[in-house]
């Protein structure tokens, strides 16, 4: 068996075209332009690239974006005041504070300060709690992107064995909750998991988000598995790879996402989606 390679870029392109239409409708019927505020504290080079990509994607889709650059020594209180102002600004539908933050700023404090109504990253405890009960408004963007890929590719989830490798708050845990909500039988593995292969071997759908290149090799998967590789790793020779031995595993899998070009393009796409949803929610009558 040789896997079909899932084209995340193509799926993202199609979704973004749909979102551009929703934005056009918001503008023409309601005079609303969805808006996102992005706050970047410090000058982490990777964060600068991520933020630039987000701003460009917003511009291309018709979302208004504002970038607030704050110096690395910004006191937490100043950042909080900026968030408070954005919480109160009706033209801003989404607020995103780019992580990581400088060590003197508490990430939980910052994430809780963003009003859940504008938490388009889906990191506020209110939205995290919604994942547990199955009614979250803003699912976190990376696992949401994976869910959209599976949906787009008509991958059956109900009753399937899903193994998620990685248990972080932003990828692994929400991913597991989202797939459990769709009636999969879910197993989460992490660094302390003994004999990882014993678990991955059971997967009908394997989602890998560990940040370890070459972690999943062909002997660890069963024939016909659907493999979603979330990992992004830069090798010493400059190549960008995922967590899965792509060339080996693709010979056993039925579908597989490449790195780059798989999950990556979907993450920003779901940020656009959440921002549009936030703007559309503002239209609903307040009850």
Q: Is 54 a catalytic residue?
A: yes
Shortest spacing between CB 158 and ligand NAP, in angstroms: 25
- Residue 214: helix, strand or coil by DSSP? coil
Nearer Cβ to ligand NAP (44/233): 233
Write the DSSP assignment of 141-188 as a string of letters. HHHHHHHHHHHHTT---TT-EEEEE---TTTHHHHHHHHHHTT-EEEE
CB of 126 to ligand NAP, least distance (A): 21
Residue of 98, 147, 160, 181 marked catalytic: 98
Closest CB to ligand NAP among 105 and 167? Answer: 167
**62/145 with CB nearer ligand NAP:** 145
Least gap, CB of 207 to ligand NAP (angstroms): 10
Residues at the site binding ligand NAP, with contacts judged by CB under 6 A = 142, 165-168, 170-172, 189-193, 196, 209-212, 215, 230-233, 263-264, 267
Please state, in angstroms and as integers, the Cα–Cα distance from residue 42 to each residue in 83, 104, 123, 159, 164, following that order: 16, 12, 20, 45, 32
Q: Identify whether 121 is a catalytic site residue.
A: yes
Active-site pick, 7, 54, 148, 173: 54
Nearest 5°: phi and psi at 137? Answer: -85, -40
**Token pair recorded at residue 61:** 């889709």
**Nearer to ligand NAP among residue 33 and residue 212 (C-beta):** 212
Closest contact distance (angstroms) between CB of 172 and ligand NAP is 5
The answer to whether 147 is a known catalytic residue is no
Q: Which is nearer to ligand NAP, 161 or 233 (CB)?
A: 233
**Centroid of chain to Cα 241:** 18
Q: Do residues 47 and 97 touch, judged by C-beta distance below 8 A?
A: no
Residue 205: beta bridge partners?
Answer: 162, 226
Of 7, 117, 121, 204, which is the active-site residue? 121
Closest CA to 245 of 77, 23, 235: 235
Q: Name the nearest CA neighbour of 214 among 247, 180, 184, 243.
A: 243
Q: How far is the CB of 245 from ligand NAP (least distance, A)?
A: 14
SS (HEC) of 51-68:
HHHHHHHHHHHCCEEEEE
Q: What are the catalytic residues?
A: 54, 98, 121
């Amino acid at each position: 068996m040789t896997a079909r390679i899932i084209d995340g870029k193509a799926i993202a392109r199609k979704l973004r075209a749909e979102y551009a239409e929703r934005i056009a409708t918001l503008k023409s019927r309601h005079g609303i332009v969805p808006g996102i505020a992005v706050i970047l504290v410090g000058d982490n080079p990777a964060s600068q690239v991520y933020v630039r990509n987000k701003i460009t994607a917003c511009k291309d889709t018709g979302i208004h974006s504002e970038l607030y650059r704050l110096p690395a020594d910004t006191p937490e209180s100043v950042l909080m005041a900026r968030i408070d102002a954005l919480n109160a600004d009706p033209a801003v539908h989404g607020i995103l504070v780019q992580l990581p933050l400088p060590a003197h700023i508490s990430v939980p404090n910052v994430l809780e300060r963003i009003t859940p109504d504008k938490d388009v990253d889906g990191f506020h405890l209110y939205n995290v709690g919604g994942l547990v009960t199955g009614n979250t408004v803003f699912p976190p963007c990376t696992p949401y992107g994976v869910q959209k890929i599976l949906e787009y590719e008509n991958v059956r989830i109900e009753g399937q064995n899903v193994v998620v490798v990685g248990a972080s708050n932003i990828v692994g845990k929400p991913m597991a909750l989202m797939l459990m909500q769709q009636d999969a039988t879910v197993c989460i593995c992490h660094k302390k998991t003994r004999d990882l292969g014993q678990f991955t071997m059971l997967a009908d759908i394997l989602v890998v988000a560990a940040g370890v290149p070459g972690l999943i090799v062909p002997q660890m998967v069963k024939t016909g598995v659907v493999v979603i590789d979330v990992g992004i790793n830069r090798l010493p020779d400059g190549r960008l790879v995922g967590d899965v031995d792509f060339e080996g595993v693709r010979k056993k899998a039925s579908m597989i996402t490449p790195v780059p070009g798989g999950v990556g393009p979907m993450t920003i796409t779901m940020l656009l989606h959440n921002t549009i949803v936030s703007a559309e929610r503002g239209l609903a009558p307040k009850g």
